[in-house]
Structure 1
Amino acid sequence: MTLDPEVTPHRAEAGAALTFDDLLRRAASLVRPGRRALLGIAGSPGAGKTTLAEHLVRALNAGGEPWVAHVPMDGFHLADVELGRLGRLGRKGAPDTFDAAGYAALLRRLRDAEDDVVYAPGFERVLEQPIAGAIPVPRTARLVVTEGNYLLVDDGEWARVRPRLDEVWFCETDETERVRRLVARHEEFGKAHDDAVAWVLGTDQRNAELVAGTRHRADLVVPGTALPGTRL
């Protein structure tokens, strides 16, 4: 699907039915001549942030030269060796287990769009480790979609993130489904079922409650199960 980046989005009121095309128009409308736009997608672990971001980027880039990039926050996880040194390995995924200042600095570089290419770190799910320089963002990218749990947190270094984003959407889904997804994800990447459930209901749940408390700061709330053509 190819959209005019200057199209005005459908501004749905709270409770109004949205379509995926509405979200595409709203995302595209953030771009203005001569400047790059940054769209953030926040939400609790397992809410569907990555799924929504990937569908947006794929649909906006379809049918022409790619002009939208996807830069997840997860590349700013601290490495396990550093988490071990800090005594935080058992809380991996909590706000203080990320390099929030580094993430904010990357967003500033992406906003400035002065470099031919900006390299962002990725996150390898099998290794459960960040990978430096894994995501190239060329100067031609006019919209960057970034997603992560803590984009709307206003404490410490995280408070530097929201001002660098044009909009932040909050992705949420049914709580039972969110927990089911998280357990399945942890099992997929090596945890035994009981260990996965314990982690989800412990560490992940504490993080989810913190993130849920930032929902009111979002510009738009959408379900994390959003897919092209579905009504939200």
Structure 2
Amino acid sequence: MQTVIIGSGNVAYHLAKAFMLNAVPVAQIFGRNEQELEKISEKLQIPYSTKKLSDADLYIICVSDQSVGEVSRLIIRKDCLVAHTSGSLPIDILAGEYRKSSLYPLQTFSKSKKLDYQHIPFFIEAENEEDRKLLSDMASAISKNVMESTYEKRKYIHLTAVFACNFVNHLFSRAKEISDSQKIPFDYFLPLIDETVGKIHEIDPKYAQTGPAVRNDKRILEMHEELLEDESLEIYKTMNHSIQKLYEL
């Protein structure tokens, strides 16, 4: 089966790499950013193009949500399967007469960070059982965690991921701003972060909560608020209010 990956960003790179490491051939990587495509091509030994989209049985679109519809119009072949990798778009965003599907990897991707692909969950949606099986078999070649999911379910998966990943990472950035302002090496906080994340592998997050808000320690809460201003102060107040509301304090 001829497979083409469209895109040159983090998801395109890691998906192509995962396929190649598990003997799933990729015929071409296609996109607009020639510099990034060339890097991927050299590293993974996959042909690339910015001009001519190769003929394929399966096209996997790995671009921003805003570009999926536009990019999908480049595929003119009718007897093929097209999958996007978005967690927040329906499959009918794909604007062609081909068969439509979704192959959503639940992970945060950076090209510089190695990943264990076997543990990345993949969520599959397709218009018919044959295509669902095709995508499931392909995803199962690189991951132990593959399941079917409707668009309605995938929206909630993506929402959960934003809370669990994007928001948490933003809090890390804000925390580093505070430590940097006091010339405290942020590395000193990494064991605490690792333990916090590690705990929820064994304990429900609700029961793993610690800190002044869950203890309703008003002295510390007020002291911290005096040390903060602007957005960080608003985040601090909002987070503490949410914690206390969850525990009805």
TM-score after normalising by structure 1: 0.25
Greater strand proportion: 1
Larger relative contact order (CA 8 Å, sep ≥ 6)? 1
Q: Which has the higher helix share?
A: 2
Tell me the TM-score normalised to structure 2 length: 0.24
Larger radius of gyration: 2
